[in-house]
Amino acid sequence: MSAKIIQYRTRREAAAENRRLVEAVLREAAQVADIQYAAFQQDDGVTFVHIVSQGSAQLTGLASFAEFQRDFDSRVEPGSRTTTTVDVLGLAVAPTPAAAPGA
């Protein structure tokens, strides 16, 4: 199984909205058994990292993901997005409540 790691920087004024949209995707993806999805906001407040592994279900099929993608380019610093594909050796992640910024 493989996964993608996507990293990018938002414009400072767009970080809170981006986080809100990511949290909505996390909530919806948690309801789909064939999607493993984690997202992180680094302590600089503007760098986001997403890790996703998908089977037959795809993030692109989620309404919340369509909303996240809608204005993505306007929230993100040009040229900051990178995507890496990795082999998944295993996943041992328990769901946790969303942490407050800076926690």
Number of domain units in the chain: 1
User: The domain spanning residue 33 has which CATH number?
Assistant: 3.30.70.100
Residue 31, domain member (yes or no): yes
Residue 94, domain member (yes or no): no
pLDDT for res 57: 80
**Domain enclosing residue 51, as ranges:** 2-86
Residue 70, domain member (yes or no): yes
- Is-contact 88 37, C-beta < 8 A? no
pLDDT for res 97: 64
pLDDT for res 34: 87
Over residues 38-60, the mean pLDDT reads: 93
pLDDT for res 94: 67
Residue 103, domain member (yes or no): no
Percent of the residues in the chain that have a pLDDT greater than 90, as a whole number = 71
Residue 97, domain member (yes or no): no
Q: For residue 27, is pLDDT > 90? A: yes
Q: For residue 8, is pLDDT > 70? A: yes
pLDDT for res 16: 98
Pick the residue with more confidence: 39 or 93?
A: 39
Residue 93, domain member (yes or no): no
